[in-house]
Amino acid sequence: MKNTQFLFQIHYLISPTMKSVSQLNSMQSRSLLHTCLPLMNKKTTRIDSNEEQLHMKIDNKQSKDYMMHHEIYSEKELNDIKITHKKFESWHDRVAFAAVRTMRFFFDTFTGYIHESSTSKSDKIIKTMTEQQWLRRFIFLESIAGVPGMVAGMSRHMKSLRTMKRDHGWIHTLLSEAENERMHLLTFLELRQPGYVFRGFVLLGQGVFFNAFFLTYLLSPQICHRFVGFLEEEAVITYTRCIENLDAGKLPAWRNLPAPQIAKNYWKLSNDAMIRDVLLVIRADEATHRQVNHKLADVGPNAPNPFLIQTTETQTPPSIDEQQEIDTANKN
């Protein structure tokens, strides 16, 4: 793979106009456009940046793996993740939040989640979640979390086909979110293999949630992205609580547990990375999804995707060697 330099251009189009749409379309026709999941408002390239002490090794070349674009975080970014909550601004937001709370109730019940309040002054002994209970929760959570990005991406893809109009760059962002959530699931599956009953509930949950989300997406993409934004707020809370428990010594089996290899490969973690490092990058991913989905709900389904990366690498003609590689009919 050739050395590649990226030019990042993040378009925050607060009030999109027809002019900005046509500018974007002409830009798309000149170069490849990739979407990204920027954690926060990054306006400059970070791959060439040496300004941060990176916790993880970052390859200065374009990633050689086949995965879609995903964030690789610095230590500062990982530790800067905060629990946030977006204020309601419309009835859409209230509907979305009510749906998240309802879903969370069933979720907590099924996964046996015990919310431990740090402000509790009660003398009674508070039960804490064990490592196995956390894993059960994470696996079920992530099996559901991978659905919205795929459904939303698929819906926009289908809409683009049937209306014969451009999508304005949303599809890649949504599909890469779905893949990212699936990687969370695959990581936790390295630590626990669920039984048949659990898999049955996952099957049931996916059947219900996929269809409900799909139908709602057809009616109101805005509610759906707000819903995911609120859901990711909850995910950040859950992973923050787990990291706090780990730091407080309440999860002894994970104190010296190495990170699964799949996680080291995907997030480019160092060889000596531990499970805590994995929890930190997953929490950062959830914060990224939170940011992206709230923003997508804000701009509305007809605006260009505010999260775009433009790369200077266009499709160059193949070299002589590359042509010879596929010219097998003329090989001796």
Name the minimum Å distance from CB 329 to Fe ion. Answer: 47
Q: Which of 55, 225, 289, 294 binds Fe ion (CB under 5 A)?
A: 289
Name the minimum Å distance from CB 316 to Fe ion. Answer: 36
Q: Is 100 in the site for Fe ion (CB under 5 A)?
A: no
Instruction: Name the residue nearer to Fe ion (CB basis): 171 or 185.
Output: 185
| Residues 165-184 as x/- pattern, contact with Fe ion by CB under 5 A | ----------------x--x
Decide: 8 and 45 in contact? Cβ < 8 Å.
yes
Q: Which of 93, 233, 234, 286 binds Fe ion (CB under 5 A)?
A: 286
Name the minimum Å distance from CB 283 to Fe ion. Answer: 9
Who's near 97: CB < 8 A, 6+ residues apart?
A: 88, 226, 230
Residue 322 tokens read as 């590359």
C-alpha 181/C-alpha 209 separation (Å) is 15
Which segments of 191-312 does DSSP mark as H helices, in order? 196-219, 221-247, 261-267, 275-299
Q: How many residues does the chain have?
A: 332
Instruction: Name the residue nearer to Fe ion (CB basis): 238 or 310.
Output: 238
Binders of Fe ion among residues 212 to 241 (CB under 5 A) are 232, 235
Classify residue 289 by burial, with Cβ atoms within 10 Å: 0-12, 13-18, 19+: buried
The answer on whether 71 is annotated among ligand-binding residues is: no
The answer on whether 184 is annotated among ligand-binding residues is: yes
Compute CA distances 300 → 47, 225, 308, 324, whole Å.
30, 9, 16, 47
Name the minimum Å distance from CB 21 to Fe ion. Answer: 29
C-alpha 72/C-alpha 68 separation (Å) is 12
Name the minimum Å distance from CB 83 to Fe ion. Answer: 14
Q: Which stretch binds Fe ion (CB under 5 A): 45-53, 57-65, 84-92, 137-145?
A: 137-145
Number of DSSP helices (H) and strands (E) in the chain, helices first:
10, 3
> Containing H/E element for 309?
strand 308-311
Judged by CB under 5 A, the number of residues near Fe ion is 8
Name the minimum Å distance from CB 9 to Fe ion. Answer: 26
The answer on whether 181 is annotated among ligand-binding residues is: yes
Q: Which stretch binds Fe ion (CB under 5 A): 54-62, 248-256, 271-279, 280-288?
A: 280-288
Instruction: Name the residue nearer to Fe ion (CB basis): 230 or 254.
Output: 230
Decide: 52 and 304 in contact? Cβ < 8 Å.
no
C-alpha 314/C-alpha 331 separation (Å) is 29
Give the residue closest to Fe ion by C-beta.
Answer: 184
Q: Is 145 in the site for Fe ion (CB under 5 A)?
A: yes
Instruction: Name the residue nearer to Fe ion (CB basis): 77 or 304.
Output: 77
Compute CA distances 330 → 320, 323, 325, whole Å.
14, 11, 10
Instruction: Please report, as ranges, the residues that interact with Fe ion according to CB under 5 A.
Output: 142, 145, 181, 184, 232, 235, 286, 289
Binding residues for Fe cation: 142, 181, 184, 232, 286, 289
